[in-house]
Amino acid sequence: MNIVVLLKAVPVVGTERLGSDLLTDRAGQSEANGNDEYLLEKALQLTEAHGGDVTLLTLGPATGAEALRKALAMGATRAVHVVDDAVRGSDIRATVEILTGALKKMEYDLVFCGADTSDGLGGVVGAALAARLGLPYLSYASEIEPTDGGVRVHRLSAAGYDVLEAPTPALVMGTQLLGAPRYPSLRGIMQARSKPIETWSLSDVGVDAAKVGSSAAWTKTIDATKPAERGGATFVRESADVAVGQIVEFLGSRRLI
Amino acid sequence: MSTIWAIGEIPDGVPTKLTLELATLARQLAEKAGGQSRTILVGQGTARAAEAAAPYSGAVLAVEVEPSANGPVAAQVAPRLAALIEEHKPDVVLIGASNDGKDICGLLLGLTDMPVLVNGSGVDWADAGPTVEMSTFGGKLVTRSAFSDGRGMVIVRPGTVTAEKAAAVGAVEAVDVGAAQELPEVKVADSVAEAGAAAPIEEARIIVGGGRGIGSAEGLRLVEELAEALGGAVGATRAVVDSGWIGYGQQIGQTGKIVKPALYIACGISGAIQHKVGVQTSGTIVAINRDPDAPIAEFADLFVVGDLFEILPALTDAIRARKSGIANET
C-alpha cells in the first residue's frame, strides 16, 4: 500500500507574521503542520503493518525542506517538494491546481491530508483535490483501515461516528484522534540525511506559472489590523467563598446568569 | 444585481443555528448590495426545514434528495449545489464553518470555478463585493480580504452574526436538481452513536472548559457540574482530550474547535497559544487558576486565583441557589 501524505511546512506556531505585502512571511523557521503529522503517523503505521511506501508531498518555498527532513526522520520513504518562485502569493484555487498537477504524476493507493493548517485554517484543499482528481473523499477520520481493494474510515459525527467505505485510490482527511505522532529516533535522523527530497517546478507539474501567484489570485488581502487587546483581567485573590460571591456578582452584572 | 446565497445544513430535517445565522447574514448583505438573498437547503425533509428557515430568509430554495441516497452529506449536497450555481450564477455563496460545511465548500472548489475565502468572522459589503474579516495567526491579526471580481464562496464561522427574523417570511420554492457531475461513491456502511456524548460546544452560549489543572477525570466532573448548573456545554484543552477523560468533539483550540460563546469559564487552563486561538473571541472569559502568572491572564476578563477543587463546587452551588431563587420569585 503506497500512501502520499500532504504535509505543509508552516511558520512555527506563535511566530507567524505578515510581510509588508500582506503575504505570510515564510522566510523564518518552519515546522510540519501539526494536523498533518497525525496523518503521517497513521500512514507509517499502515505501511509498517501492510507494506508499501510513504511519500511526502509539500508545496512552498525552500525553507520548508527542514520540516520535510524531520518527517523523513519519523520514517517517511521520500519527499516531493514543489517549489517555484512564481508560487508566492497563490490563493487556495492555485494551491489546488498545483497539488492536483503533482498528484497526477504520482502513484498511490491513498492520499492523506490533515483537517486544516495552522496558517490557513481553511480545511477545504483535501475535498477540492478529491473532486478534481476523481477520488473518493473520506473526511474527519478518527480511524483508517485498509479493506480488500479499498479503505474503511470512521468519520466523526455529532452522535459518534459514521463508518465510510470506498475503493482505492482514495483521499482521506484525518484528525488528531488517529493518534499522537512519534518522535524521530536518532537512527531515523541519521537515515533521513540520505533520503531523497525531489524538487519539482511548476512546469514539472504541468501548471502555467501565469495562472498562480499573487498576480493571478482570485482573492486578495486588503489590510490587516491588530485586534483590540483583551485582558486587563480583574484579579480576585480572596478565599474560595468570597471569590465565588465575586464571580456570581461579576456574571450577574454582565447578565450572563 | 447581486445575489447572495446561504447554504443551509439540515440534520434530521431541522436547520442548524448556524444555518439561520447564514440566512440572516445573506439578507443583511443583500440589503447593503441592493440585491437579493436566498437560503439553499439540500437534503431530506427540506419541506419542513424550509418552513423553519423561511422567517430568517429573503427566500428559500429547497432541493429534496431521494431518501434512498447514500453517502456523506457533502457528497450528496455539493454536486447538486454545483448544478444550481451553474444555472443561477450567484455572486456570493455563504457556507458554514462546520465539518460538513467545509467539506461541501471544498468539493465545490473542485467542481466549480468559484474562489473561496475561509475562516470568516465578519462579512461586510463594499463597492462590488463582500469583504471578509478573518482572525489569523492565533488572533494576533485581523485581516480583511476580498474577491478580485467580487464573486466567490465564503466560509463563515458560527456566531459571526446573531440570527434575526426578517420583516416578512421568505417565499419557499421547491426545485428538482440532479448532480452536475457525479462524485466517486463513498458508502456510509454504518452510523454509530457513542454513549455519553457530551453536548456540542459549537452552538453553546456558555462553555466551561477544563485544562491540565483539573488533574483527573474526577476533576472534570466538577467542570461538568458547573456547566450543567449554568446550562452550558463542557469544553477541554488538548491535554485533557489526550488523557481520554472527554471526547475529541469537546476539544477547543487550534486542532479542535474555534468557539465564540457569550461566556467562557476556563478551569485549570494555562492559556497556551494553541488554546487561545479557539476561545479568544468569546464574549466574556473567566479564568480560575492556581497560577496568577498563567498566560490566560492576558486575555481573561476576570482571573480568580485559587484552588478550583474548592471554588468549582462552591460556584456550582451558588449558581444553582441563584437560579432556584429566581425561579421561586417568578
Reported as a single tens digit per residue, the pLDDT across A212-244 is 999 999 999 999 999 887 768 999 999 999 999
Domain boundaries, chain A: 3-216
Would you call A236 and B230 a contact, using CB atoms and an 8 Å cutoff?
A: no
Residue B55 DSSP label: G
Is the predicted pLDDT of residue B197 greater than 80, yes or no? Answer: no
Domain boundaries, chain B: 3-175, 206-329
A228 contacts chain B (CB < 8 A): no
Domains B3-175 and B206-329 share a fold: yes
Grouping H, G, I as helix, E, B as strand and the rest as coil, residue B61 is strand
For B178, half-sphere exposure in the C-beta direction (CA atoms, 13 angstrom radius) is 3
Nearest in space to A204 (alpha carbons), one of A103, A66, A91, A62 = A103
**Closest residue, chain A, to B227 (C-alpha):** A257
Rounded Cα–Cα distance for residues B21 and B251 (Å): 23
pTM of the predicted model as reported, rounded to 2 decimal places: 0.91
For B126, half-sphere exposure in the C-beta direction (CA atoms, 13 angstrom radius) is 12
| Bridge partners (DSSP) listed for residue B12 | none
Question: How far off is chain A from B148, nearest CA to CA, in Å?
Answer: 5
Would you call A221 and B144 a contact, using CB atoms and an 8 Å cutoff?
A: yes
Q: Which residues of B touch A152 (CB under 8 A)?
A: 189
Would you call A136 and B185 a contact, using CB atoms and an 8 Å cutoff?
A: yes
**Least CB–CB distance from B297: residue in A132, A231, A243:** A231
Could you write out the DSSP letters of every residue in B275-300? HHHHHTT-SEEEEEES-TTSGGGGT-
Q: Are B4 and B37 in contact (CB under 8 A)?
A: yes
Burial environment of residue B111 by CB neighbours within 10 A (0 to 12, 13 to 18, 19 or more): buried
Reported as a single tens digit per residue, the pLDDT across B207-232 is 999 999 999 989 999 999 999 999 99
Matching CATH number, B3-175, of 3.40.50.300, 3.90.550.10, 3.40.50.620, 3.40.50.720: 3.40.50.620
Helices (H) and strands (E) in chain A, counts: 6, 13
A62 contacts chain B (CB < 8 A): no
Q: Which CATH class is domain A3-216?
A: alpha beta
What are the C-alpha distances in Å from A216 to residues A207, A211, B226?
13, 5, 52
Question: How far off is chain B from A64, nearest CA to CA, in Å?
Answer: 18
Rounded Cα–Cα distance for residues B104 and B218 (Å): 39
Q: Which CATH class is domain B206-329?
A: alpha beta
H-only helix segments in B183-272? 217-230, 238-242
**Sign of the Cα pseudo-torsion (B226, B228, B232, B233, in order):** positive
Would you call B72 and A17 a contact, using CB atoms and an 8 Å cutoff?
A: no
CB neighbour list of residue A228: distance below 8 Å, 6 or more residues apart: none
Q: Which residues of B touch A170 (CB under 8 A)?
A: 184, 186
* pLDDT at position A53: 98
Q: Which residues of B touch A227 (CB under 8 A)?
A: 135, 139, 141-142
Reported as a single tens digit per residue, the pLDDT across B237-287 is 999 998 989 988 899 998 888 898 999 999 999 999 889 989 988 999 999
Residue type, A36: D
* pLDDT at position A231: 67
What are the C-alpha distances in Å from B172 to residues B66, B138, B258?
19, 41, 33
Q: Which of residues 97-126 of A touch B (CB under 8 A)?
A: 115-116, 118-126
**Least CB–CB distance from A247: residue in B131, B280, B315:** B315
